[in-house]
Amino acid sequence: MALEGLLWCIAALLGAGIGGIVIGRHRAATVVVYAITLCITTIALLISGISLLIPDSPGTALTLPVGLPWLGAHFRLDALSAFFLVVVNLGGATANLFGLGYGRHEEAPARVLPFFPAFLAGMNLVVIADDAFTFLFTWSDFLFALTLTTTEDVRPVTLGLFTYIGTYVKDWSAVMATAVLASLPAFVLLLVAQRFVAAGVTSGSIK
């Protein structure tokens, strides 16, 4: 039930992205898209929070007839994925709340509005993806970062690392140093959530 609810939230986020294309040039587009996306991410946050507090020990799995015809798209919700869904949707809801005010000052809202809900949908899909094809199809942080950032002052690490590598200059020492620093938050997060990691890894091992 929770997994189906999350998939409906993801579908709604993709619909909000399409709506951003349709009304992107309207004056009220920013408020409408961010408000709708805020509601959707809040619902997804509640669903994932409940799944984290009351986990289903073996996890729940679902296969949709999309993607490769002989494979389909496999999704799974367990304690580990529920934890990261809380992180993703809490950040998404906070970003939407901030965007309600800040987005009004965006110089080119039509460039951001269609992609922001789609980015949140992709981040949710990455967490619950249960096969390599679905994971790789939804993981496109480089493309979204390149599309959503309008200035070089603020960029995610995945895109920032690329600036160290050029045709004639490959500053590998700076690349490795940045990669180590960028991995520290994930390492700390893993330490904090290690019991959820263990529960997610072993949830399917006991019948």
Q: Which amino acid is at 24?
A: G
85 neighbors 48 (Cβ within 8 angstroms) = yes
Residue 160 has pLDDT above 80, yes or no: no
Q: What's the average model confidence in pLDDT over 94-111? A: 78
Hey, is 73 helix, strand or coil? Answer: strand
Q: What's the average model confidence in pLDDT over 155-162? A: 68
Q: How is the chain split into domains, by residue range?
A: 2-151
**Residue 32: which pLDDT band, with cuts at 50, 70 and 90?**
confident
Q: How far apart are the two ends of the chain, measured CA to CA in Å?
A: 20
Q: Which amino acid is at 104?
A: R
**Residue 144: which pLDDT band, with cuts at 50, 70 and 90?**
low
Residue 204 has pLDDT above 60, yes or no: no
Tell me which DSSP letter residue 27 carries.
Answer: T
Residue 13 has pLDDT above 80, yes or no: yes
**Residue 141: which pLDDT band, with cuts at 50, 70 and 90?**
low
The full DSSP string for 69-102 is: TTT-EEEEE-HHHHHHHHHHHHHHHHHHHHHHHH
Residue 60 parent element (H or E): strand 60-64
Tell me which DSSP letter residue 152 carries.
Answer: S
Mean predicted lDDT score pLDDT of the chain: 78
58-74 per-position pLDDT tens digit: 668 778 777 667 677 88
**Residue 39: which pLDDT band, with cuts at 50, 70 and 90?**
very high
Confidence (pLDDT) at 140 = 61
- Exposed, middle or buried, 107 (CB in 10 Å: 0-12/13-18/19+)? exposed
